[in-house]
Structure 1
Amino acid sequence: MDNKYQKLISWVEDIKERNHCSASALLILQNDELVLEHYSGSHSNTENSLPIGQSSQFNVASARKSYLGLAVAYAIHEGKIRSLDDYAVNYFEEFDKKLLDKTTIRNLITHSHGLNEDDNGTVYREFQPGQGWAYRGINVTMMTQLVKRLYNQSVAELLRERIFLPLGYKETAWQTEENDKLVKVIIDPNEEASFNLGRSNDGSESNLHVSAREFAYWGNLHLRNGNINGKQIVPKEVIEIATQVLSPKYDNKDFPLNGAFWYVQGTPSLRSEIGERVPKGSFQIIGVTGATLLVIPEYNIVVSKMYNKRYNYEEIDGNDYLYYLREFSNIVADTFSN
């Protein structure tokens, strides 16, 4: 192993132990070549559980939004969504028009919509569209439902047909049944880990499981503007929609910037999950289980990192999760900038 990656591996392993994960994986692609592949631990925190390897499939939780984001980008490119600045009321007749007000599609995919939902399912407004930033789940649900209406296909069906099958992905799927390749998720370190499965495999739930390799390949598809091995799998314009800054202009410069759900590095901001040393134009998606996919076009790299602990980094050394997400991407940037 090249010594240049030792600091990065040590950091990943240190966090794995301190955060009570049973599993980790770290892969790096550079110039389409696999330059680092590291696996550690086991599928569960119980004795005799299977060791982590190439075929281990992790629950990537909210990182599934990058898959939804590409489906939305297709809809924009193909004119099913006429404009990012179309009002949401034109697409969501089931919602109160006064509540949606001037919320746009742009707001919904950049977390600037201002909508939230209480425990009873009542939707309410936290701030006016485009005037703030908040990570909520309602916009993900809305856009997932919209893609299904526009295409008469679920997000999962659309992506399987257009991307997973053409590229031969066999370790990327929304899972509803247990199998030996799935890595269990730890919620409480004092309790046995469990499978994070859904009731449906249509892409509407957080049950997407991906191997670290195919997660990296997914990032490389975006890095390569949809062209893999000389074949244009996804139109370049679709990838550009997904990964460029689409956020409205915020008065508060600390807010993160987003593409179609991806976090995108523009001018570094304090609330971004991308560290300040990461080059402009980079993009990243993360999940609450510790899954991270970082793409740095300036260095031609894709980094896939996996853990299996829900609410990673909480209360380690008094730092919040944002510190550790930023620090990981900064270490990656340092590794390749030298």
Structure 2
Amino acid sequence: MVISKKLNDTFQAVKTHVNNTYNSVDASGAAMVIIQNNEIVAENYWGNHSKEKDARPVREDTQFHVASVRKSYIGFAVAFAVHNGYIASIDDKVTTYLPTLDADLLNGTTIRHLLTHTHGLREVDGEIDREFAAGQSWAYRGINISLLTQIVKETTVKTVSEILNEHVFQPLGFTETGWYAQQTDKLAEVIKDTNDPIWKTHASTDGDEMNMYISARELAKWGYLHLKQGFINGEQIINSEIIELATSLQSPNTIDVDLPQNGFLWFVKDLPAKKTEIGEFVPKSSYQILGYTGVAVLVIPEHDVVAVRMFNSFGSPDGFDYLADIRAFGDTVMECLS
């Protein structure tokens, strides 16, 4: 994928906002890339890969741990499976594709519920438990991601990473996006107080673990691929119906209107919702994906904009209002466009 670069000062306030966030969280490095009207108009890098002396500076090829941003790639794989008929409908029951699961516990849980965080399932001590009835509320849990990656593999006979590599990464020449089993000098360290290995590399590179690292420029290009509905450099690389499935509102109408709204795991802006993670001034039909490391991709089709921010922090420090900060990120982008 080729995107020309024509830097300007339009998004200076966003740069300041990202820099302020960088200085407010426990991170050693940060990055920001903004694409507008088919050009990279802002690109900034701060700090180093770690807090170690003589650590590698953050630069264009630095890859950050993206945490839950990986879910947008899993959402793509599910949309690919639906579009190509491997999954008949997202309203099919999960047990249709994973028949060994407890049908009584799943109790009508559908793929739609998994995709929109309305499944009501959680994992407790390695066992699946029910938190609320499917389609009746919203909760951000990890069990749905595990089930979705299993469904993709069962139906397509390919892993999430195989689908992405074959249909996205290789055609677009992405070399700084992937799941990693070993550390490389381009992977920024996740700054954390815990030794939890989940935030490190993992033996599996199938796309079912949280070991995905991406550079800021390729994450922006991922957003741009969606913004352009798969039409890149004069060629329809991805069928637009796959992108439309992934980024349009899919949440069941049975949940409270103030709960977050989702497409295929992307957060989407539709009706006003008090608990949305997208800024108040960001227009309808925009969509966003977030990660625990502070990473975010915001796509605003109405203004032909993709905005990416990246940090290597493990969550938020005490007293830091993450929800207010991520909403302000989008609203600052909108201020720059007004």
Task: Specify the TM-score bucket, using the shorter chain as the normaliser.
Answer: over 0.9
SS in 1 for 2:136: coil
Give ranges in structure 1 of 5+ residues lacking alignment.
none
Task: Give the Cα–Cα distance (whole angstroms) in 2 for the partners of residues 212 and 326 of structure 1.
Answer: 20
Match in the other structure for 2:278: 274
Report the AA paired with residue 329 of structure 1. Answer: G
Of residues 47, 65, 90, the one that matches 2:53 is 47
State the partner residue of 2:3. Answer: none
| Alignment correspondent of 2:240 | 236
Q: Which amino acid aligns with 1:22?
A: S
Post-superposition CA distance 1:81-100 (Å, at most 9, x none): 11121111211112100111
Distance 1:132 1:61 in 2: 24
1:293 is aligned to 297
| Contact 1:19–1:313 (8 Å) recurs in 2 | yes
Matched, 1:326 2:327: yes
Length, aligned pairs only: 331
Q: Give the direction of change, closer, same or farther, for the CA distance of 1:10–1:300 in structure 2 (3 Å limit).
A: same
TM-score (structure 2 length as normaliser): 0.95
Q: Identity over the aligned pairs, expressed in percent?
A: 44
> Which deviations, in whole Å up to 9, do the C-alpha atoms of 1:144-166 show, x marking residues without a partner?
11111111111001110111001
1:331 partner letter? T
Q: How does 1:33-182 map to 2 (within 5 A)?
A: 33-118=39-124, 120-182=125-187
Whether the 8 Å CA contact 2:120–2:139 is kept in 1: the answer is yes
Q: SS where residue 220 of structure 2 aligns?
A: helix
Change (3 A) 1:241 1:213: same
Report how far residue 299 of structure 1 moved.
Answer: 0.5
What's the TM-score, normalizing by structure 1? 0.95
> How far did residue 175 of structure 1 move?
0.8
Amino acid at match of 1:290: G
SS at match of 1:4: coil
246, 249, 258: which one aligns with 1:245: 249
Contact 2:294–2:315 under 8 Å retained in 1: yes
Distance 1:124 1:41 in 2: 42
Q: Give how far 1:251 is off.
A: 4.6
CA contact 1:268–1:275 (8 Å) conserved in 2: no
The SS at the match of 1:13 is helix
1:189-268 to structure 2, matched below 5 A, reads: 196-268=200-272
> How many angstroms does 1:290 deviate by?
0.8
For residues 302-326 of structure 1, give each alpha carbon's deviation from its aligned partner in whole angstroms, at most 9, with x where no partner exists.
Answer: 111100001136522xx3x211111
CA shift, 1:47, in A, is 1.4
